[in-house]
Amino acid sequence: MPARPRTLPSDVTELLARHRGVLTTSVALAAGIHEGRLRRLRDAGLLTRVAPRCYVSTVNLGAASPWERHRLHAAAFVLSRDQPVFLTGWSAVVTFDLPTVGSPPRLPQALRSAAFRASTQATQFGIIRAVCIPAGQARRLGDVSVMSRQWAVADVARSSPIPDALVVADAAAQSGADLHEAVRHMAGWPGVHRARWVAEHADALAESPLETLGRFTCIQFDLPMPVSNAWVGADRPEFRVDGLWPYHWVASEADGAIKYDNRSDASRIVARQTEREWRLRRLGLDIGRYDWDLASRDRPELARRFAALLRDNPARQQPVRWWKHHPDAGPIEPQPHDWPSPWPVSFVLPAGWNT
């Protein structure tokens, strides 16, 4: 009787890595690995079966974050289906490696063409809704069938808290996704007004969830809107600030803990940041810093701080010199439509926006 294996063989490990952590029996067989061998590795506790004919590394599954576990289960769910289904909503978001907020859904979410079956199907591995899938909105990401980025964002926005959906929408817009296109295909769907609002207010210049939540604070509490990631400098573009109120000569800086945590060069990062802030203040800017706890858990307090900064620095006739950031060209001259109002815009949020 062969000895019980204690580690995953290198050929299985290689296949798992090549297929983003999920190995199907068909892929394994094509590589010369029979299902009986996979079952023995499962019995040894080295592989875990997460859907019919789909296996993942037990060690990796145990060490995965809740969202990574959801991604693995979602991929296995669509790979195990006999008829094509496409991940949607948060299941598609995490598959595209877009930002996620909060806790993942209990089960993967997928769509199938209503031509196959017109009803919703709930299984122990995931939920499938039947819809008319528009041309160009379904695709493959590696082995996995998934709806487009813009569709995933619109589906999330229909039923998720607006701040969470806006985080994903900003990231998708930055990658070039046309959010309005997906929304047009959802006319008459429940919650489509929420998706339309998110598409309208997404900002492709926001570069992190923290920046998005800082901007949303201004929307929620009716404050003047900042420009995302604007360049400033005395005679030329020198520094980018996360948010800029040019008429108030005020900038916001989103402090992500990832900048400092577990880094051997943390002291150098802090020193560079201190020097940068000194030079920004020499330009005449007042600076407001905020972190994840404020932006995600205590936006009323963040709004009070923003409001105090703007109150202490009333709008001037002459704005600070600034440049718009272009992802490819870098700093460019802002056009008239790029300038924010120095006054509150008074956005109307969808009813029930925080649920």
Q: Please give, one letter per residue, the 3-state secondary structure of 311-339.
A: HHCCCCCCCCCEEEEECCCEEECCCHHHC
Judgement on whether residues 85 and 48 belong to the same structural domain of the protein: no
- Binned at pLDDT 50, 70 and 90, residue 169 comes out as very high
Look at residue 3 and tell me if it is in a domain: no
The pLDDT-based confidence of 261 (bands split at 50, 70, 90) is low
Asked whether residue 71 is domain-assigned, the answer is no
Does one domain contain both 240 and 194? Answer: no
**CB contact at 8 A, 99 and 171:** yes
Residue range(s) defining the domain that contains residue 128: 81-201
Judgement on whether residues 131 and 240 belong to the same structural domain of the protein: no
Measured distance CA(194)–CA(340) in Å, rounded = 24
Q: For residues 246-263, give the mean pLDDT.
A: 78
Inside any domain, residue 322: yes
State what percent of residues in the chain have pLDDT above 90: 90
182 and 302 co-located in one domain: no
**Mean pLDDT value across residues 267-272:** 74
Alpha carbon 271 to its chain centroid, in Å, reads 30
Does any domain span residue 72? Answer: no
* Residue 264: strand pairing partners: none
Domain shared by 149 and 178, yes or no: yes
pLDDT on residue 115: 78
Same domain, 301 and 275: yes
Rg (CA), the chain: 24
Same domain, 197 and 213: no
Q: Which residues are paired to 111 by β-bridges?
A: 86, 129
Write phi, then psi, for 78 (nearest 5 degrees). Answer: -70, -30
| Domains held by the chain: number | 3
In which band, very low, low, confident or very high, does the pLDDT at 257 lie, cut at 50, 70 and 90?
low
Residue 170 belongs to some domain of the structure: yes
| Contacting residues for 45 by C-beta, under 8 A, at least 6 apart | 58
Residue 217 lies in a domain: yes
Task: Judge if 40 and 150 occupy the same domain.
Answer: no
Residue 68 lies in a domain: no
Mean pLDDT computed over 252-277: 72
Give the mean pLDDT of the chain: 95
Q: What does the pLDDT read at residue 353?
A: 98
Alpha-helix residue ranges (DSSP H) falling in the chain: 10-18, 25-30, 35-43, 58-63, 66-79, 89-95, 149-159, 162-174, 179-184, 192-201, 209-220, 266-282, 292-297, 299-312
- Type of residue found at 111: L
On whether the CB atoms of residues 79 and 22 are closer than 8 A, the answer is yes
| pLDDT reported for residue 319 | 98
Tens of pLDDT, residues 174-207: 999 999 999 999 999 999 999 999 999 999 999 9
Q: What is the pLDDT of residue 341?
A: 98
Residue 246 lies in a domain: yes
Q: What is the pTM of this model?
A: 0.92
Q: What is the pLDDT of residue 263?
A: 53
Strands 127-131 and 109-113: parallel
Q: Same domain, yes or no, for 160 and 218? A: no
Residue 334: its pLDDT value, please?
A: 98
Q: Does 47 share its domain with 93?
A: no
The string of DSSP codes covering 168-220 is HHHHHHHTT--HHHHHHTTTTSTTHHHHHHHHHH--TT--SHHHHHHHHHHHH
Sheet of 86-87, strand order = 121-122, 127-131, 109-113, 86-87, 144-147, 138-141
How high is the pLDDT of residue 265?
A: 61
- Is residue 76 pLDDT above 70, yes or no? yes
How far apart CA 321 and CA 298 sit, in angstroms, is: 32
Residues 6 or more apart from 219 whose CB is under 8 A from it? 201, 225, 347, 349
Using DSSP's 3-state secondary structure scheme, residue 352 falls into coil
CATH number at residue 327: 3.40.960.10
Mean pLDDT of 207-217: 98
pLDDT tens digit string along 314-337? 999 999 999 999 999 999 999 999
The pLDDT assigned to 271 comes to: 75
pLDDT band for position 267 (50/70/90)? low
pLDDT exceeding 70 applies to what percent of the chain?
Answer: 95
State the CB neighbour count (10 A cutoff) for residue 319. Answer: 17
Please check the confidence at residue 295 and state whether its pLDDT lies above 90. Answer: yes
Instruction: Identify whether residues 262 and 145 lie together within a single domain.
Output: no
Helix axes 162-174, 192-201, angle to 10 degrees: 50
* Residue 118 confidence (pLDDT): 66
Same domain membership, residue 51 and residue 92: no
Q: Of residues 53 and 271, which shows the higher confidence score?
A: 53
Give the Cα separation of 59 and 215 in Å (integer).
39
Please tell me the distance from the alpha carbon of residue 325 to that of residue 342, in angstroms, as a whole number.
20
Residue 42 sits in a domain of what CATH number? 1.10.10
Between 259 and 85, where is the model more confident? 85
